[in-house]
Amino acid sequence: MAATKEEIVEGLAEIVNEIAGIPTEDVQLEKSFTDDLDVDSLSMVEVVVAAEERFGVKIPDDDVKNLKTVGDAVDYILNHQD
């Protein structure tokens, strides 16, 4: 069953918390992964792989560079989940 937007935000917040140690409540749609959430390019790969597993999507490397904010990732997952 496809996840709702709220579920995706909540899931990403948990992933970012696990990887970068940012409190889940600080992981909001407009936040930039690199500038606001201490997720560098290597850690972003970890976020992507964790998100793929959790939401059952494939996020090709070429698409990862377009995921600047949490909102970008949420939209991508919403549009690509089964």
- CA dist 42 and 4 (Å) reads 27
CB environment 13-24: b (16+ within 10 A), e (fewer): bebbbebbebee
Q: Segment 43-62, which members bind another protein (CB under 8 A)?
A: 43, 45-46, 49, 52
Binding flag, residue 2, another protein (CB under 8 A): no
Which residue number, 1 or 42, has a Cβ lying nearer to another protein?
A: 42
Which residue number, 3 or 39, has a Cβ lying nearer to another protein?
A: 39
